[in-house]
Amino acid sequence: MAGVAMPTLSLSGCEKPVPVIGMGTMSYPPVDIETTKAAILEAMRAGYRHFDTAFAYGSEKPLGEAIAEALRVGLIQSRDELFITTKLWSSFADPAQVVPACRMSLQNLQLEYVDLYLIHQPVRLTEMISRTPVAAEIIRPLDVKGVWEGMEECKNLGLTKGIGVEMNPVWQQKQLREFCKARGVHITAYSPLGANNTKWGDNRIVESDVLADIAKAKGKTTAQVALRWAYEQGVSIVTKSFNKQRMRENLQIFDWALSTDDLEKINQLLQRKGVTLASILGPHDLILELDAEV
């Protein structure tokens, strides 16, 4: 990271500050365990200490293996150097299943606790799925109160240190950010580069002429400009690349800034929601209602 220390942000109710940039571990289409493990180890060498996984990604086991390997070879001295986030999958989003699901994720990760446990999606699925979209009949409303009580129990048991429930330059979520800021709720930007090359994302960020012009003027990449913009909004960021060069480039956003003119140009970008539940689970009535609310 060219000698620039990774900034951290404090989370309400969480013991450990979160490194501003985290590495996402989901691959689409899926890759084998060894590929994911090797990429995570390379990310640790590059300076990443915040890793985002989920039961649904199938990346908990390779992340756990990478952490064990990093400890064995001395890449890290202690598990406490890392900030690990995983998520409650919708098939387990039932009050009675929350704690067992968290324990299963910890077993996959070979860890005693995670730093942050999140509800993956605001719906419940009545069965396990192997592909999306899903049938309408397996989608149910989330029992928010009951599931949240299960999340609180995970924290009370010491299985996670923190609990919780998109933002990028072309879906800036200004109203949501202001709402959360007023209530002390921290936001993490996921898919901050638009999830290009997935069935739910697009290339509007990486191919934005506005961002490309700003990047060219500053001698940066378009991705760096997008990530710097998110950082300047006061959020933490989860970005994913298994490419060694881009891994490092994505960390090189802390020793320069966007100008007022740059920010104004970005603020004028056409806004359109990128990742929607409907693009993943299907255009079912309940899903469309949820998408319309955010």
CATH node for 8-293: 3.20.20.100
* Domain limits, the chain: 8-293
Answer yes or no: is 120 a known binding residue: yes
- CA geometry: angle 124, 130, 136, nearest 5 deg: 45
Up-side HSE of residue 149: CA atoms within 13 Å toward CB? 6
Per-residue pLDDT for the chain (294 aa), expressed as one digit of tens each? 444 689 999 887 787 899 999 999 999 888 999 999 999 999 999 999 999 999 999 999 999 999 999 999 999 999 999 999 999 999 999 999 999 999 999 999 999 999 999 999 889 999 999 888 999 999 999 999 999 999 999 999 999 999 986 444 545 667 777 877 888 888 888 778 876 666 656 677 888 999 999 999 999 999 999 999 999 999 899 999 999 999 999 999 999 999 999 999 999 886 766 667 787 888 888 878 877 775
Among residues 28, 48, 57, 190, the one annotated as catalytic is: 57
- Gyration radius (Cα) of the chain, Å: 19
The rounded distance, in Å, linking the Cα atoms of 149 and 95 is 7
Measuring CA to CA, how many Å separate 285 from each of 172, 276, 291? 25, 13, 10
Residues 6+ apart with CB under 8 A from 153: 98, 99
- Is residue 253 within 8 Å of 262, Cβ to Cβ? no
**DSSP secondary structure, 78-133, as one string:** -GGG-EEEEEE-GGG-SGGGHHHHHHHHHHHHT-S-BSEEEE-SSEEESS--SSSS
Q: Is 57 a catalytic residue?
A: yes
